[in-house]
Amino acid sequence: MKQHPSAWIRLTRPKTSLLSNYGDELNHILLAEVSARPVEWVPLGQEDVVAVGSILVPYFTQGGVGLIWGSGLNQPSVTPGEAAPIADRFLAVRGPRTRDALGLTTDMPLGDPGLLVRNFGVHASARRIPKLLIPHFTVYNTRRGRRRIGELVSAGFTVAAPNLPVRQMLHLIASSDFVASSGMHGMILSHALSRPVQLISFAEQVDAVPGYKYGDYLASVQLEVKVISFTELLEPGKRANTITFQALQDTESVSAAIDELNSGLLRASLPLR
C-alpha cells in the first residue's frame, strides 16, 4: 500500500467497467467501510487497490499497480506466469475460476466484496415490492431493451434503474419479495440480502449456462443456476411459482457460504487500513 499524506485510499474506476453506476458506487462505499479512510478515484496505474468487478484483464494489460481485493476475471486470458510476479498483491479474488486461472494458492480468500452489504444493516420498507427487475445497463440503455423491460413492467415488475444510488438500490432489493436481474451484481446483492433472485437474459437466443464471470461467483457460493429468458417471467401461474420457489431455495442455500466468504474478505482487507 502506497502511503499518501492525505491518507486517502486511491481506487481505480475501470474504463471498461462491466458494472453499472451503482456497481461503481458500491466499490467506493465498500472500500471506505473496510479501510476506514476516504476514497478517491484515480486512473489505472495510480491506484492503491482494485476491488469489485471483472477488472483483472485491464489490470494486467494496462499497468495496474494496486492491491487486489475480491476482483475477478471475465475470461481466463491472464496466465499463471503473468500473475506469479505480483502474487503478493492478491488479498482476495472473486471466485475459484479466477484463482485457478491465475495459478494462485488454494488458501487464497474468495468472494465478491459486494457480499459484504449483508453487514450494512440495510433496512427494508414495510411496503413490500412483489417483483423487482434490475436490468443490466447495456439493456437499460437501448430502445429494444427498454421495450422488453416495459413488457415486464406490464406484468407487474417494478424497475430498479441501474444508475440508482447504491443505497437506494439496496433498499429496493431488501424490500422485494422476488428479484429478476440481468446483471451479476443484482444477483450478488440479492443473495447477500437474502432475497430470492433469478438470473435472466433479454437476448434473442439464451444460453442457460451462465458466462465465465457468473460461474466464478456462483462457484464461490457452491451454487448452480440456469439463465432464463425474460419471457418466462411473463408466463402466469405454475411456471412463475416454480421460478420463485427455486430462487428462494437457492438464496437459502448460499447463506452460510456468504457468511464464510465475508469473514475471509474482512480478514483479507486488513492491509487496506
pLDDT tens profile 1-39: 333 333 455 655 544 444 446 777 888 899 999 998 888
Segment 146-177, tens digit of pLDDT: 999 999 999 999 999 998 989 999 999 999 99
Of residues 201 and 240, more confidently modeled: 201
Tens-place pLDDT, residues 177-187: 999 999 999 99
Sheet arrangement for strand 228-229: 158-159, 132-134, 179-181, 197-201, 228-229
* pLDDT for position 89: 97
Whether 1 maps to a domain, the answer reads: no
Asked if 222 and 168 sit in the same domain, the reply is: yes
Residue 175's nearest CA partner among 122, 137, 134, 135 is 122
Task: Please indicate, yes or no, if residue 273 is contained in any of the structural domains.
Answer: no
Same domain, 199 and 133: yes
In-domain check, residue 17 = yes
Q: Residue 254, Cβ neighbours under 10 Å: how many?
A: 19
- Alpha-carbon span 171 to 11, nearest angstrom: 25
User: How far from the centroid of its chain's Cα atoms is residue 195's Cα?
Assistant: 15
Cell of 97: 475460476
Q: Is 91 found in the same domain as 165? A: no
Residues of the domain holding 62: 9-118+260-268
For residue 30, what is its C-alpha cell? 465498500
Residue 2 lies in a domain: no
- Domain match, 30 and 113 both: yes
State pLDDT tens for residues 56-99: 999 999 999 999 999 999 999 999 999 999 999 999 999 999 99
pLDDT of residue 10: 65
